[in-house]
Amino acid sequence: MRKNIVAGNWKMNKTLQEGLALATELNEALAGETQKCDVVIGVPFIHLASAVAAVDANKVGVAAQNCANKESGAYTGEVSAAMVKSTGAGYIILGHSERREYYGETSAILNDKVALTLANGLTPIYCCGEALDVRNANEQNVYVKNQLEETVFNLSAEDFSKIVIAYEPIWAIGTGVTASTEQAQDMLAFIRTIIAEKFGAVIAENTSILYGGSCNAKNAPELFAQPDIDGGLIGGASLKVADFKAIIDAF
């Protein structure tokens, strides 16, 4: 059975002290509650070890937002998947549109990052999604299919079954414009269909597919009620515990 997941992506926000306070407050807010979904926080590298120490691992998973496409060595400024693993984090967000757009991450680079993430026993939260011009041309399905075919569809069925997919239309990220429930459901159903074609119905049924892009406490209940939407990847609304908790409670 696939899992419902609400994952926060803090992006480049919060000092170490602020991040520690946020993780601690979230952990307190979830204490003693029965959660209907897995909760993950995607934090900057420098926060990873502190965030892991601040939360109850049974309640909150911790994700990095990126990792190097190399195993180790002379790559100044990079952080490897093994280093992420050593902090106790369990996930790495990969292929976010901001990394593809601003840091030139190609499918080839992402293939190496996904492989290293899996090799270290971590779960990739693999992002895909189209820009507005692609959506306006109604070519979003072909575009997303191509993103997946160039990357995670090259994995073995066994490895693919370990990943989480997040569909984040670029035009909905940080804009306040959420994809309509129908647009989000249609795309996630499409992604599930092509997973089934590639890896079979069982793996498709068991893959958690998240929606991201201006997801908030108001729109989350309707989004999460859709048959193919298994949760959300949350940017802005993950930076305040009350907002993030309300999204978690949408399940």
Helices (H), the chain: 16-30, 48-54, 81-86, 97-102, 107-119, 132-136, 140-149, 157-160, 181-199, 201-206, 220-224, 241-248
Q: Would you call 25 a catalytic residue per the annotation?
A: no
Axis crossing angle, helix 140-149 with helix 181-199, rounded to the nearest 10: 40
Of 191 and 199, the one with the shorter C-beta distance to ligand 13P is 191
Rounded Cα distance, 200 and 109, in Å: 26
Spatial distance between the Cα atoms of 206 and 192, rounded to a whole number of angstroms: 10
CA distance 44 to 51: 10
At closest approach, how far in Å is the CB of 170 from ligand 13P? 9
Q: How far is the CB of 236 from ligand 13P (least distance, A)?
A: 4
CB 146, min distance to ligand 13P, A:
20
98, 105, 130, 168: the active-site residue: 168
Q: How far is the C-alpha of 185 from the C-alpha of 179, rounded, in Å?
A: 9
Q: Which two tokens stand for residue 131?
A: 């820009």
Q: Which residues pair with 7 in a beta bridge?
A: 40, 233
Considering the complex, state which of residue 21 and residue 217 has its C-beta at the smaller distance from ligand 13P: 217
168 vs 228, beta carbon nearer ligand 13P? 168
When CB distances to ligand 13P are compared, the closest residue is 235
Joined together, the tokens standing for residue 189 give 């159903």
To the query of whether residue 101 is one of the catalytic residues in this protein, the response is no
Closer residue to ligand 13P, CB minimum distance, 152 or 199:
152
Catalytic member of 25, 71, 96, 222: 96
Cβ nearer to ligand 13P, comparing 18 with 205: 18
> Please, what is the minimum distance in Å from the beta carbon of residue 250 to ligand 13P?
14
- The site for ligand 13P (CB under 6 A) is made up of 9, 96, 168, 173-174, 212-215, 233-237
CB 23 within 8 A of CB 50: yes
At its nearest, how many Å lie between ligand 13P and the CB of residue 216?
Answer: 8
Active site residues: 96, 168
